[in-house]
Amino acid sequence: MITIVQIACACAGREHNRRVQILSFPEAATPADLRVQVREIQEQAWPSESGPDAPVDTPTHDPALRPLSMLLVEEGTVLAALDILFKEIVHAGRRFSAGGLSTVVTSKQARGRGYGRQLVTAARERMIAQGLDLGLFTCDRPLQAFYESAGWRVLPGAVLIGGTPQTPFPSDQPGFDKVTMSDFFSAAGRQAQASFQHSRIELYPGEIDKLW
């Protein structure tokens, strides 16, 4: 799916429109040249031992979570990227289809221009279009206002339990300062919204994407 968005920006004292594309692909099907750029941007934010030279076909996420990559691109250059992960969860005795944001990042050269917000907003709209019951993810507390500006809301008192049932990875563990962001899309999700507040939500996305 390709979505064209228009972003107005000021340049040399003149206002003009810059056309950017939001491209989405299953992670494994993302074109190699774009994946290389995404890897470089991720390394800017979260340097790894392998660095940007790791094989481009190395998956970032557990394939069982059906990762969908969304990229904001201008003339072949990736300006921002994120992934949506999907999983069915059971909460308060009911089953829900859930999605979450992961690896949200904007290149250093493109920060401060609203590209990240544009992409996060588009990802929320994509989750709605996918027919999900709800979206859930954690973020560092200083980023709360950023996600709120893109349509997400804090889920009061909620803790996501990542990892696996055998090796849980809760978002309120010592040293973490996370908040849980959410939105409830379907009628079933909205009806159950109160049950998610002030609760421990068993996400269990696995050992690779511990808190997605």
SS3 116: helix
Average the pLDDT over 82-102 and give the result: 98
Output the average pLDDT for the chain. 90
pLDDT at 47: 87
Placement of tokens 């049950």 in the chain:
195
CA angle 81, 85, 90 (to 5 degrees): 155
pLDDT at 6: 42
> What region, left, alpha or beta, does residue 104 occupy, with left being phi > 0 and alpha being psi -120 to 50 degrees?
beta
Position 133 pLDDT exceeds 50: yes
Torsions phi, psi for 41 (to 5 deg): -65, -40
Assign 7 a pLDDT band (cuts: 50, 70, 90): very low
Over residues 173-202, the pLDDT tens digits come to 999 999 999 999 999 999 999 999 999 999
pLDDT at 172: 97
Average the pLDDT over 28-53 and give the result: 87
Kind and range of the H or E run holding 148? helix 144-149
